[in-house]
Amino acid sequence: MQKMNDKNFVQKPKTLTELSVGIRSGRTKSVDLTNSYYERIAALNPTLNVYLSLTKERALASAAKIDALAAKGAELPALAGIPVGIKDVLVTKGAPSTAGSKILKGYHPPYDATSVAKLEAAGAVILGKLNCDEFAMGSSNENSAYGPVRNPVDIDRVPGGSSGGSAAAVAADLAVATLGTDTGGSIRQPASFCGVVGVLPTYGRVSRYGLIAFASSLDRVGPFAANVRDAATLLNVIAGHDTMDATSSQRPVTDFTADIEKPVKGLRVGIPSEYFGEGLDPEVKQQIEKGIDQLRAAGAEIKEVALPTTQYAVPAYYLVATAEASSNLARFDGVRFGHRAANADTLSAMYRRSRDEGFGAEVKRRIILGTYALSAGYYDAYYRKAQQVRRLLAEEFLTAFADVDVIVTPTSPIPPFKLGEKTDDPLAMYLADIYTVTASLAGICGVTVPCGTTSAGLPVGMQILASHFNEGTAFRAARAVEAAQE
Ligand code: GLN
């Protein structure tokens, strides 16, 4: 087992292509591969706290099925035998699905999320459920009721959030690829913090059926992988219309890997000055500028674009997201799901105490904020205003995308910070979401790709945004950045 020093647990997984060749030829047995991942998980999980639960029986049964098919020489599906992990906000039949919350401790859902079912139908082996911030609320994974995940690059630092487990699993090779969710940055920021690739698909591209809702107009499911091609391959599998999610798009899904190697010569890359000003760490800035120079050297045309409403994005996001959360989380009342307070005298005491005992501090803060924003007398001042900002942001992006194919920014203004560094200052934590919440509000897609490191060796991620349903273009630009680092 490769271990660079006491604080670094990074190991690049084999690529999907390499593994697939082995499995298809019968040289690699899926069962052996699965067991080797479980061994690595047993060794590293006590330190990294990436997995909340394992689905061993299910995984080994899928793996055995793949091996039997391979032995018969049968045609194998796209992800045959590939070990993957699932963020614990996506439900899995008969297996714990806690959303990182105490309130859902012991909840074993009766069905699979569509994205999970699609992965498995494509042959993927589901290793287990990944740690995350409670109900996906957070930017550091420190809001998980089950303890923080540690960043495999430096275990004294946070992996980002809310999909911290999904990012760390790929970085430490505890899964070849994973699923996470992104409401305001929860795929992109942890991917950036852990030095892996993360994808924000267009809103509607991937079904939300079986995703435990945080903010339904913003929530998206997307993949993490160690390289751009693997991430695109996963998106191929999970994308597409689902009759169980009325907001999922009817658009046909094209092969997202098709244009990945296409040169970026002539690709128009927009740079918004709003993402390069105050608050941006100088070392992050330097790495992103180097990445932009590499795109220019590869023939891309670099242009300025204006996104002036960016300055209102964080307050708008934290109003819309908390308003929706306050409504979505009303269902956790101790009656149908998870935790119920013992010995309550009345029904309302049972509701109150179940919620008080089951929810963590950040979730309570958001329910209170959201309830306030929606209350009579404040609705116009807060929620309606936030929706207006959302509309302006979306229009600005559309105007920008009339001139450019992609927009490039840092994914996070700062490199991964130390555990505990920001837990006492929720506002500082919220402000760090500045570069990711804009695309969330606008519904557009994007990819974050590793783009150098700081002098301390901490990963920097470049965010590459594209207009609605143009994931392929974002992948193409991301691949060029990735190739320039190789
Ligand atoms: N950090 C943001 C928040 O706390 C985003 C979370 C997410 O995308 N799920 O709301």
- Cα separation, 140 vs 164, in Å, equals 7
Asked if the model's pLDDT at residue 1 lies above 60, the reply is no
- Cα separation, 46 vs 51, in Å, equals 9
- Cα separation, 136 vs 186, in Å, equals 7
Q: Tokens 């012991």 sit at which residue?
A: 106
Does the C-beta of 354 come closer than 6 Å to ligand 1? no
**Can you read off the two tokens belonging to residue 123?**
């042959």
Nearest CA to ligand 1 atom 5: 184
Average pLDDT, the chain: 96
> Can you state the percent helix, strand and coil of the chain, rounding each to 5?
40, 15, 45
Least confident stretch, 47-56, 280-289, 307-316, 376-385: 376-385
Output the DSSP codes for 225-283.
ESSHHHHHHHHHHHBS--TT-TTS--PPPP-TTTTTTS--TT-EEEEEGGGSSTT--HH
Asked if the model's pLDDT at residue 3 lies above 60, the reply is no
Mean pLDDT of 409-430: 96
Mean pLDDT of 432-439: 97
- Cα separation, 19 vs 26, in Å, equals 11
CA nearest 295: which of 462, 471, 472?
A: 462
Mind listing the pLDDT tens digit for each residue in 302-311?
Answer: 999 999 999 9
Does the C-beta of 163 come closer than 6 Å to ligand 1? no
Residue 399 CA to ligand 1 centre (angstroms)? 26
Does the C-beta of 69 come closer than 6 Å to ligand 1? no
Pocket test for ligand 1, best of 133, 137, 328 (most atoms within 8 A of CB): 137
Using CB atoms within 10 A of its CB, is residue 64 exposed (0-12), middle (13-18) or buried (19+)?
A: middle
Mind listing the pLDDT tens digit for each residue in 208-238?
Answer: 999 999 999 999 999 999 999 999 999 999 9
CA nearest 91: which of 57, 70, 62, 114?
A: 114
Sequence-ordered alpha helix ranges (H) in 312-384: 313-328, 347-358, 361-374
- Cα separation, 195 vs 458, in Å, equals 8
Predicted TM-score (pTM) of this structure: 0.98
- Cα separation, 218 vs 197, in Å, equals 20
- Cα separation, 272 vs 274, in Å, equals 5
**What is the β-pairing status of strands 177-182 and 125-130?**
unpaired
Pocket test for ligand 1, best of 208, 433, 436, 440 (most atoms within 8 A of CB): 433
CA nearest 410: which of 226, 185, 201?
A: 185
Asked if the model's pLDDT at residue 399 lies above 60, the reply is yes
Mind listing the pLDDT tens digit for each residue in 47-92?
Answer: 999 999 999 999 999 999 999 999 999 999 999 999 999 999 999 9
Mind listing the pLDDT tens digit for each residue in 109-126?
Answer: 999 999 999 999 999 999
Residue from 30, 62, 115, 162 carrying the catalytic annotation: 162
Asked if the model's pLDDT at residue 275 lies above 50, the reply is yes
Q: Is 87 a catalytic residue?
A: yes
Asked if the model's pLDDT at residue 268 lies above 60, the reply is yes
Domains, the chain, in order of start with CATH, read 16-238 (3.90.1300.10)
- Helix or strand or coil: residue 177? strand
Nearest CA to ligand 1 atom 4: 138
- Cα separation, 190 vs 140, in Å, equals 8
How many percent of the chain have pLDDT more than 90?
96
Does the C-beta of 321 come closer than 6 Å to ligand 1? yes
- Whole-angstrom CA distances from 183 to 177, 202, 322, 367 are 20, 12, 11, 16
Asked if the model's pLDDT at residue 183 lies above 80, the reply is yes
Mind listing the pLDDT tens digit for each residue in 21-45?
Answer: 999 999 999 999 999 999 999 999 9
Asked if the model's pLDDT at residue 5 lies above 70, the reply is no
Does the C-beta of 166 come closer than 6 Å to ligand 1? no
- pLDDT of 403: 98
Mean pLDDT of 193-205: 98
Q: Is 186 a catalytic residue?
A: yes
Find the largest Cα–Cα distance for the chain: 71
- pLDDT of 11: 92
- Evaluate whether 2 touches 11 at the Cβ level (below 8 Å): yes
Q: Tokens 């990074």 sit at which residue?
A: 10
CA nearest 361: which of 291, 315, 429, 294?
A: 429
> Which ligand 1 atom is nearest residue 137's CA?
4
Does the C-beta of 179 come closer than 6 Å to ligand 1? no
Q: Tokens 């799901």 sit at which residue?
A: 337
Does the C-beta of 162 come closer than 6 Å to ligand 1? yes
* CB-based contacts of 346, cutoff 8 Å, min separation 6: none
- Evaluate whether 313 touches 391 at the Cβ level (below 8 Å): no
Q: Sheet holding 83-87: strands in order across? A: 51-54, 125-130, 83-87, 177-182, 220-225, 197-200, 445-453, 459-466, 406-410, 268-272, 301-305
- Cα separation, 84 vs 95, in Å, equals 15
- Residue 173: count other Cβ atoms within 10 Å of its Cβ: 22
> Which ligand 1 atom is nearest residue 362's CA?
4
* CB-based contacts of 36, cutoff 8 Å, min separation 6: none
